[in-house]
Amino acid sequence: MTNSSLGAALITGASSGIGAVYADRLARRGHDLILVARDGARMETLAEKLRADTGRAIEVLPADLTDGDDLDRVAKRLAADASITLLVNNAGMSLNGGLLDNEAPALERIVTLNITAPTLLASAAGKAFKARGKGAIINIASVLALVPEMFDGVYSGTKAYLLNLSLSLSQQLAENGVHVQAVLPGATRTEIWARSGKDVDSFPPEMVMGVDDLVDASLLGFDRGETVTIPPLADEGLWETYTQARVALAPHLSHRDVAPRYRETVDA
Q: Which 3 state secondary structure label does DSSP give 60?
A: strand
For residue 76, the cross-strand partners are none
Active site annotation includes 242? no
| Single-letter amino acid code for the residue at 184 | L
| Active-site residue identified among 22, 49, 159, 198 | 159
| Active-site residue identified among 155, 161, 198, 262 | 155
For residue 138, which of 184, 196, 188, 190 has the smallest C-alpha distance? 184
Q: What are phi and psi of 188, to 5 degrees?
A: -130, 140
Classify burial at 103, counting beta carbons within 10 Å of its beta carbon; exposed 0-12, middle 13-18, buried 19 or more.
exposed
Active site annotation includes 155? yes
For the residues of 135-187, what is the DSSP string, one character each? EEEEEE--GGGT-TTSS-HHHHHHHHHHHHHHHHHHHHHGGGTEEEEEE---S
For residue 95, the cross-strand partners are none
* Catalytic residue annotation: 155, 159
